[in-house]
Structure 1
């Protein structure tokens, strides 16, 4: 588990994307469950909040199907 410190103007989706290359519901739910009270800051976080990042299983990429093959 990594801990990061927020910068002024960070959002949860932005942090998840920058740190984990993920921004899905499962990642957000895991982040909020590891950081109780984080939602009290609203959608835009102030600077200086320590945020624990969840350890998640890597998502398998969606299979692309080409109908013309």
Structure 2
């Protein structure tokens, strides 16, 4: 588990913004997992107040999906 504190004042910080800043790519389902393991986090509202800290699970890397090539002819 990673503990993420909200330390920036005057900025509108959301859970999904923190996930994006940490991983720099979409992490499907991670925001929902964060809300599941941190009861009451959603009650704080869409924008997290300064000083809020929450647990973030460490995501496991997924194997990239191998797609079939598209044949135009």
TM-score (norm 2): 0.70
Distance in 2, Cα, partners of 1:68 & 1:35? 46
Larger Rg: 1 or 2?
A: 2
Give the aligned CA root-mean-square deviation in angstroms.
2.2
Q: CA deviation at 1:57?
A: 1.5
Unaligned runs of 5+ in 1: none
Q: CA deviation at 1:23?
A: 3.9
6, 11, 17: which is aligned to 2:20?
17
Matched residue pairs, number?
68
Unaligned runs of 5+ in 2: none
